[in-house]
Structure formats: structure tokens, C-alpha cells
Chain A
């Protein structure tokens, strides 16, 4: 993941790029535990300002949400574990962990030098209290602890999590929002929503204007402060993408996501632009696999035919401005579950699709209604055309923006066009294919698939588990459970002196940015 350089790269910029690469490599190395090389004192006084589109709903640990909001809460709170750039789980506030042989007891050992922003020591009681509150409070993190039966703190540095059944994604959850450490004494107080006692590398300053600009100062008493090169981090909430780009150009923020057509202009203006090729998957979710609303969808040949209806390369080129990659699978291409061999499974072939439909008994096609949401609108003409070419007539039913998520859960629609933010394979299975998954509203289940998921839950070895996830992926593609269309990428533009570092899909945090030296 080297900085993208324009053809007119000058010697100065090449030199800056060389420094950037060096910094990138050193910071990438530090991401596993501690920094390999300390940034110089002057560079450690740098300020980072990032533009994001939405403010955090709440900073209460039981109400945290992932996505861009995590630039803020992941700076304020420490997490028990962390995911590194290679998607491996690493120690963080917990210096070690151990599973029992039956994978139902997880014991975590905390570091001894953890401190809250109030100056008090972080103990296992705080960890247990935070987890217990998250487990019992309705919020985005609660379902992730559904298999936790009890949490205890036998001594000041030990936390024991008891599970009712093995949970293969638990370590991943503990490396993200579910695993934050709040202060047991203040968790339930109202101030926690906006001004929590933090356990992380930064603390919210008085200059913060809630909902507009979050100003965070580095805590020098944080155990891993040396891994954070920026003294001050400002996260500015700018909803409009053009306004974000204006702020970047005017020097008001140093890093922002930009849109594909702005790429050349940004590079020409001296910004480093880096592409993350896959952060989400554009998927036509074939929710009604049981055929309750549209009997045709219960037939695997019909689902396969739908998969052959799309000219994916054209969608990427025309609708995603080339920022993405055609695919027939939904798992993160950087994860062990991804299988490049599957990409040829459904090439664009309307004639073959019509043949498959005829074989399934739908020679004259069929009709279905899909929700027209903020997500689907720009893709609707293409989807309608592609499906009508094979004989499937689509009617779009408008859905208000606040009902977008409900449109899936309502079980009113047999298929829904959705952007799925990529995650670890275990989380994706939980979100897309498990019987209780959000993207499986009709609760489709299959004995063979269940057996596969069962084997993953009881597999302690990481490599062996990856192989099993690959099988899961193969099954979902062969059975055409959904019709994935493309991986969707993002472009980060950073001002000179700031580097954007990540290579894979991990939690967005300030660790994604480094100082390249001026």
C-alpha cells in the first residue's frame, strides 16, 4: 500500500513519499504492540484533523456504534484487545487471554499500568462492570454478548467470561466497541453520554462542541502513549461531501474521504490519495430464500440466474466511478474466508440465466417488489434493466430514509439492495447468514450449512477456522444465497505531513494516521 503518486511527481514530492513509506513501514510495525521507532519530539506535537460525516450517537460504552464514529470513541476508550493490519487479534489493555478446552470460558489478564483519565487505576471490576452493562442494555453491542452467561473479576487483573455456547467472534468483538473499558463508578451517570471518564489514549478537551467538533488531547499517562504521534486530534463533523472536500482544500482538515472524480484534482493539489479497494460489498440480498413471498426464490437455479444477470464490471465502471471491484462473494478480500477461485462462478450471461429460469419452471419470468431506499436509488435503473433482461420484473416501493433498516426486517420484501460494511468472517456470518441475522429476515436455515457453522464454533485453531470459513463462503456462492455485485472502495486524501496507513478493513481509529515528517 504505497502512496499514490501522480505522473508529474516532482523530486520534492518523491522525497516526501519516500519518507512517507518509511514512516508507513515503521508505524505498520508498531501496530502489533509497541512502536518500533519513536516519532521525533517535534512531530509528536502535530495536530491531526479529520472530517467525518456523522457524530457519535452517544459515548456511553453500552451505546457505541462502529463506523466513522469510532475515530472518537476509540480514542477515548481503550479496548481489551485490538485487530492489527493483518486482521490478527493482538493484546491491548488485556496483555494475554486464554480459552478453556471447551471454548466456553475466556480468561483475560489485564496490564498492570492501565489508568483512567481521572487518574484512577483501571481494574478488572471496571471491565466486568462495563461488559455486564453492555450485555444487559439495549444497544448496538448487546447482541454480540448474547452467548455470554456471566462475567467475573476474581482478582484485580483477571476477567473471566463464561459462555453458554462457543462464540467464534468474541475476541473480535472485544477488539472493537464491545470491548471498551468504561469507569464502573460513572458508567450509569448522564455525563457518560457526552463526557465519559476515558481509559484510552486521548481525552475530550473543553474546546469540544458536541455534534460539531470533537477536540481530543493526548494523555501522557496512557500506557501506550508513544504509539500515538498526534498531540491533538480534531474530528470535525461535516455532513456534505463537497463541504468536506472544500475543508480539505482550504487546509481546515488534514484528512478526509474524497469521491472518485475528485481524485486527480486532489493529487494535483499535493494531497496524498490512497485507495482502500474494499470497505463494503454491494449486495442484492435475496432474503426470501424460503420462497414465502416469491416462491421462485426458493429455487437455487433462480437465484443463480439472478447472479448471472449483472454486468458487474460495468456497474463498477459506470456507477462506482471505478472505485471498487466486481465480485460474486461478500467476504472481505483480505480475510481468510475469501476465495479468488470463486470469482468465475457467475459471469454475465443473460442467455444462460434465462435458460436456468426455464429449467426451474419460470420460462415466463416472475415479478418481485423491492424497497427503494437511499442506498438503492442510484442503482435502480441498472438493477431493473438487468433483471428484466432475464424475465424478472421489479417494482420499487419508496421507503423513507429512517425506515431503510426496517425495510429488511419488515419481511415485506423478497430482495433488498444493500451495502454491507466488511468485517471479520465470523461477524459477517452473524450479520448475513445465521438464523437470527439481520440480513436473513426470513430465517432461512439449512442442515448442511448449520453443520458447517457448528464446526466453526468448536474449532479452536485460527488456520483451520479460516479454512472452514472458506467452505462457508463457497457454500453461499454455490447456493447463490445472495447476489453480490461489487466490493466498494474508498479514497482517503491526506495533506502533506499526514499519512493514511491501513491496508485492510479494521476499526477506523486514529491509529490509521501517521506523521510523515515535513
Chain B
């Protein structure tokens, strides 16, 4: 299991190197535009040239990349060209906001989806229809629309929740919860739509299998059959959906963060790419790749634990 995890980690590092290299080469085409953006409309050719030299943009792209990589290995991710903040702490702070949003949303998504999926699969009939109906609504109603309505009702009119901004958990847990409530609800609705249907489907499949019938004939209580046996077997494919859901939520957070002015990863990445803030884009790319690799690794390890057959790869 450990060697399997290490191999996956090694592949992740190679992936990170490749992705950052490609990103850097794609960005290196607009170095002059970035310098000009920093200098504003009044830039003279002389000041442009001086800034290009100062930022090291006049060197071959491969040299610049190796330089960046060398600095990263020593823990220096550079400084933003447009906010003057060091990249690592800036990205880490933003990532903290997004992760607290996405992880909370993911936990609630799992709880709601499991409850809804299991309920629909075991009860059938009306319960199944209600569960499928809710999933369908989650699919078709755009998250942005839900966000706008919730803000108008709970933040602007009732003033129960903040309309914008983020309070860190460590600073004030109550305010933290209030600041992420609406964004989390929006993410959960989308997440539950896909996960509940997945759990419902696999649970129905499991409950029809022979081993369940055997367990029933032995007099094992239904609750135990559903939660200890069928759900454990159904969890494996659901976990894969969950890891994809996590990555999808990171993308969804971009829109949500803009709507609620949350200083998160998505909004930061979006702004950095608009400006061509190369150190930030590189930092975000690296962190994103590592995040995706880590999530996939955790999924694989948990999957392996749940289902020993998965470990043979």
C-alpha cells in the first residue's frame, strides 16, 4: 500500500513539473504585455525595457523557468507583480478560504446525499420520486440564480447573513459559519444533485445482489445490511464521484467567490490570469495540480482500504 501511494505521489510530481512547464511557456508569449500593464499607459520604450530587464523577462523562457523552479525548491515562490504580496502566503491564505468553503460543502453533500440516496433506494415509491425530483432540481437550477435569491432574502432584506466577505474560523467561528452559509448552500445543492443519484443507483444495485439475500435469510437486521454491507460496497464508486465533485466545486467556487466577494483561490486565480500576474499564476497552477493529485491519492488509498481488489494496480 505504501509503495503504491509513493508511486502515485511520484507520478503527481512529474505531472506538476509538466503542467507548470507548459503553463510557463504559454505565459512567456505575453511578457511584454505584462510589463506594460505594470507600467500603465504612460510607459515609454526605455522604462519598458528597464522593467523587462529588472523582472528578468529578457532571458530565454527555459532559463526563467529553471530559475523559478530553483526558487520554488528553496521555498521561494516569488512575489506578485500586481499586489506585491509574496506568492506562497498569499496563495495559502486564499486556499484556506476556498478549502473551508469546499470541504464544508463536501461534508454536508456527503451526509445529505447518503441520507437521500439510501432513503430512496431502500424505501422506493414516493421516497424515490422525491429524491430524484430534488436531484433534478439541483441539476437544472443554476447555482448563481440560487445565490442571488438567497443573498437578496437573507443578506439584503433580513440582514441575517453577510452579503459579502469572509471571517476566518480562528478569528470568530460564529461569523465564519455565517460568512460561508449561503456559498456552502449553493455548492451543496449542485453536489447533492449528482451524488445522491449516484448513491441511489449503486445502493439499488447492491441491495439486489445475492449476498444481501443471503444476509437477509440469516436474519441480519435490515439496518445492518444497508449500513454495514451494502453502503460499504456502494461507497467505492461514490467516492470517485466525490473526488470529481471536489474538483468541480473548486471550479464552482470561482463564481461563488466573486458573487460573495470572498477572498478565495478561484477569484484570485481569475484576476491573476486577467492581469498576467505570472508568479501568482505559476503558484496557483502548482498548488492546484498538487491539490488534485492529493485528492486523487486520498481517494485511491481510501478505495483500496474499502476494496482490496483496487490495490493491485
Contact = CB atoms under 8 A, between A and B. Distances in A.
A238 interface: yes
A143 B163 contact: no
Interface residues of A, number: 48
Nearest to B50: A138
Interface in A195-236: 209-213, 236
B155 A250 contact: yes
Interface string A173-198: 00000000000000000000110000
Interface stretch (A386-394, A395-403, A503-511): A395-403
A239 B33 contact: no
A138 B271 CA distance: 23
Given A243-B261, A431-B41, A252 B274 contact: no
Contact of B30 (A144, A247, A400, A409): A400
Interface stretch (B78-86, B195-203, B295-303, B304-312): B78-86
B240 interface: no
Contacts of A63: 84
A199 to B, nearest CB: 19
A444 to B, nearest CB: 17
Given A55-B83, A406-B32, A243 B258 contact: yes
Contacts of A57: 38, 81-84
Contacts of B263: 209, 211-212
Given A243-B259, A247-B261, A409 B163 contact: no
Nearest to A211: B83
B54 A138 contact: yes
Interface string A47-66: 00000000111111001010
Interface string B219-260: 000000000000000000000000000000000000000111
B282 interface: no
B159 A251 contact: yes
A237 B36 CA distance: 23
Contacts of A58: 83-84
Contact of A210 (B34, B42, B85, B275): B85
Contacts of A209: 263
B16 interface: no
Contact of B41 (A55, A246, A438): A438
B209 to A, nearest CB: 50
A6 interface: no
A45 interface: no
B16 to A, nearest CB: 24
B165 A252 contact: yes
Given A247-B163, A250-B164, A403-B33, 8 more contacts: A55-B83, A210-B85, A242-B148, A243-B261, A252-B163, A405-B41, A406-B30, A438-B43
25 contacts: A55-B83, A59-B84, A60-B84, A63-B84, A138-B51, A138-B54, A139-B39, A140-B42, A142-B47, A146-B44, A194-B84, A213-B165, A243-B163, A246-B155, A247-B164, A247-B261, A249-B156, A252-B164, A400-B30, A402-B33, A405-B41, A431-B41, A431-B42, A436-B44, A439-B41
Interface of A: 55-60, 63, 65, 138-140, 142-144, 146, 193-194, 209-213, 236-240, 242-244, 246-247, 249-252, 400-403, 405-406, 409, 430-431, 436, 438-439
